[in-house]
Amino acid sequence: MRRKHSWNVMVLVLLISSLVLPAVPVQAADHPSLPSVLIVYDSLGMGTKHEGNVEALKRLLASFRVQVTAESVDSYTAGSLNNYSKLIEVRNRSDLLEEQSEFFKDLQSYQGDFLYIGERPRDKLAQMLGLQVQAVQKVADLSIGPFAEKSISVPYFFDSKQAEIRRYGTLKVQALGTSYPYAVQRGAYAYVPFMERDTLSEIAVSYVLKDWLQEDQKSHYFLVFKEIYPFSDLSLLERMSDELFEAGIPFIVSVHPVFNNTDYPAMKRYMNTLKYVQSRNGTVLVEAPVVASTIQDLDRSLYHQMEHFIDVLAQDGIVPLGMGTEMYWSYDEHYVSEGMAFFDSVILFPDARPIYKAKRNRSEAFPSSLYSVNPEFLKRYLADDRLIKPLPMDTAITFNFVEKESELESLVDGLKNSWITFEDYKTEAHSVKTETNELKSERGSLVLNGVNLGIQASHVETSSDYVYKQHGQKSFETWFTVQNKIFIVIIFITLVVFCGFLIIGYRMYKRKFYK
C-alpha cells in the first residue's frame, strides 16, 4: 500500500510541475480586426473608492468585443486621439491641473464619440446632453434593471431636459424625496457620474456601454466552472455532470492544461473524465496555465505546449471551444501570441495576481468574450427572485469547482431552483486551430477536422499498474550482488575483531591500574 501511495504522490508532483508556466520566446498572433476604444484616465485611484474602476471598465469593454487602449494623461502622446473614433475619459481626481497637458489640447478638436466617467462633465459634453448638475453630497439608492443597491454616497446629481436623452437607472434620494438618473446618453455622447469596482455601478455602466457602442447582439448567461485540475476529484466532476445533464442545465468547464507526462494513467483518467463531461452536454475550455513568478527560464515554448495539450484533447475526441484566463493575459504581448493565438473565444476572469511578461497598454480583442461574474455578486444586488433577464453583454456565472459532496449538493440544488436561464455555449460559433487539428462548434454540434462528433461516452477505468520509469538493461547484476554480500561479510568480521581488541585492551589496562 505504501509503495502504491508513493507512486501516486510522484504522479501528482509531476503533473503539478507541468501546470506551471515558464518564460518562452514571443511569436505573433493573428485575430480579426474589431472596433477599438481609447481610455484616458487621470489616476488609477489607488487607495480610494475609485481603485480598480479602470480595470473593471476594460473587462466590460472586452465583453463587447472591443479592442482597448488604456493610458494615463501623463503618458498620453500628442496626436494619439486622431487614431480613434471612440474615447472614454475616466476622471478619478478633482485636483488635477490639465490645461497644459497634450491630451487636453487634443480633446478641444476631437469630434468622435465621447463617454465621460467622473463627477464634473466637460463643458462641451454638458452642452450636448443638456446636463444640469447639482453638487450635493447625499445618500441615495441606486436601481437599474432587476438590481438595486441601497445607501450609497453620491456627491453629484444631474438631469437633462432634452427629450431625446436616454436615461439609465435611478438614484432615489430619500432625504430630498426626488429621483435622478444614474447616467445619460444621446447618440455619440454619454455621461456617467461615478463608477466603482464590485458595486452595482459596475453593472450599470454596461447598460450605457451597449447603447454607446451601438451593440445590438442578443446576450445570454452561461454557467462556468473553473479551477479544475488532473488531481481534482474527478468522480465528483462526473457526478456533477450527471446531475446538471438530468436537470437540463448546459455548462462549461475551464480545465487547466498538462504539458508533460500526458501518457500517465492520471492523465488518461483526466481525459476520460473530460470526455464524459462533454457527453453530458458540457463544454470544455482550456484555462490559462499557472504563472509562477519565481520560475527559471527554461528551453520550452508555451506555444508548442499549448498546441500539444489541445492536440492531446483532440486525439481523445475532446473539442475545446475557447480559453479561460485572467484579463491581464490579453494585455501582454507574450501571452497573447504564445498562449491565446489558437482561440477566437475567451472568458476573461478578474485579475487576481497579474504577472506580466511583456506588458502593453493595448488589449487583444476576440470575436467572443464572456464577462465573468461571481454569483454572490449578482445575488447581493438582486431586487427579487423573479426571472433575471440577461445583462447587456454575454455573461459567465463563474464558480470554482467544489471539493466536497455537501458543497456539490448545495450548488446543484441552487442552480436547479435558480431563475437564470443558461445558454448552451456550443450553439454559438467558436473555433480552435492548431497545425494538426481544427476544432469548432456549429449550431450546437462539435466538429473535429470537419467531422461531427457524437457525444456518447461511458465511464472508462484506467489501470494503476504502470511503470512510471522504464528500467534500463542491467549488466553483471548477479556478480555485483555477490560482490556486495562479500564486502558486507568482510566489514562485519572486521568490526567483530576490532571490538575484540577493544575488550582485551580494556582488561589489560584495568589489571595494570590495580597493581
User: Which pLDDT score, from 0 to 100, does residue 181 have?
Assistant: 93
Domain ranges of the chain: 2-28+218-452, 36-212, 477-515
Q: Measure the CA–CA gap between 340 and 324, rounded to whole angstroms.
A: 10
Domain 36-212 has CATH 3.40.50.880: yes
- N- to C-terminal Cα separation, the chain: 63
Range 2-28+218-452: architecture per CATH: Alpha-Beta Barrel (3.20)
**Element (H or E) spanning 438, and its range?**
strand 438-442
Per-position pLDDT tens, the chain of length 515: 434 444 344 344 334 444 444 433 333 344 456 789 999 999 998 999 999 999 999 999 999 999 999 999 999 999 999 999 999 999 998 776 666 789 999 999 999 999 999 988 888 899 999 988 877 778 899 999 889 999 898 877 888 888 789 999 999 987 777 889 999 999 999 999 999 999 999 999 999 999 999 988 899 999 999 999 998 899 999 999 999 999 999 999 999 998 887 778 888 999 999 999 999 999 999 999 988 765 444 446 889 999 999 999 999 999 999 999 999 999 999 999 999 999 999 999 999 989 999 999 999 999 999 999 999 988 889 876 666 889 999 999 999 999 888 899 999 999 998 888 999 999 999 999 999 999 999 888 999 999 998 665 445 554 444 444 444 454 556 666 777 788 888 898 888 888 888 888 877 777 666 65
C-alpha closest to that of 256 among 3, 16, 514: 16
Whole-model pTM: value is 0.82
Q: Do domains 2-28+218-452 and 36-212 have the same CATH topology?
A: no
How far is CA 252 from each of CA 53, 58, 248, 423, 430, rounded to the nearest angstrom? 28, 24, 13, 10, 13
Q: What was the pLDDT predicted at 280?
A: 94
- Strands (DSSP E) contained in 161-289 are 166-168, 170-173, 178-180, 183-186, 189-192, 221-228, 251-255, 282-287
Nearest to 166 by CA among 219, 117, 129: 129
Question: How high is the pLDDT of residue 177?
Answer: 79
